[in-house]
Amino acid sequence: MSLIRIALAGEGGQGVQAVAEILTEAAYNENQQTIYIPNFGLEQRGGVSIAFIQFSDQRIGAPKFNKADVVIALSGRAVARTAGYSDENTLFVYDSGFDFDKEDLPKEAKKIIAIPAVETANRVLHPKVFNIIIMGAVIGLTNVVSFEAAKEALEHKLAYKFETNPDLRELNYKAMEIGKQMAEKSLQEEVDNNG
């Protein structure tokens, strides 16, 4: 696998940094080279939080990047904040569940797709697994890690919660699965639309 760069952005508290931690942990466990760096400016307190993630089979250079292969923006502000990371090779993904000025979408992108993660979390599962749906979606969009490795890393991260409430495990796995399918479907629809 050559280098894949992902910028994952959301509101503080949506759990994007946790997703980055789990995904990179999974990649590390699969013997990939991987780097994850959060943006940790003062704005992370209540502002847009971005995780910069890179996966590769070779040693990775600089920890940050100017242009991403995949951008995932999980709020209106996150769209505006991350549009600059998109160029003609970027897959730009946003959540369809919020209103924002479509002018904020990147001018340059290979594809721009919307996924209904917020709505699915609220309607089908539970708001608190929103970020895990996103994690599943990242896997569905990029295949950067295997589903099994992601499950293991998730287990490792949330074991203490699963112990007190075993139902959470199933809920999280289901969220991942739904996220993955949602992403695959969105990519497929995009292909169909473009005929």
Residues that bind another protein in the complex, under the rule CB under 8 A: 21, 24-25, 28, 33-42, 60-66
User: What is the distance between the alpha carbons of residues 17 and 9, in angstroms, rounded to a whole number?
Assistant: 9
Q: What amino acid occupies position 195?
A: G
Nearer to another protein, 30 or 184 (CB): 30
Least distance to another protein from the beta carbon of 61, Å? Answer: 4
Nearer to another protein, 28 or 147 (CB): 28
Closest to another protein by CB, 3 or 158: 3
CA pair distance 83, 22, nearest whole angstrom = 24
Residue 92 Cβ vs another protein, minimum distance, rounded to whole Å? 20
Instruction: Tell me if 143 sits within 8 A of 27, measured CB to CB.
Output: no
Read off the DSSP letter of residue 12: T
- Taking the complex as a whole, how short is the minimal distance between the CB of residue 72 and another protein, in angstroms? 19
37 vs 112, beta carbon nearer another protein: 37
Q: Which C-beta is closer to another protein: that of 66 or that of 194?
A: 66
Place of tokens 């203490």: 160
Shortest CB 161 distance to another protein, Å:
20
Shortest gap between Cβ of 16 and another protein (angstroms)? 15
User: What is the SS3 string spanning 149-177?
Assistant: HHHHHHHHHHHHHHHHCCHHHHHHHHHHH
Phi, psi of 62 (to 5 degrees): -60, 145
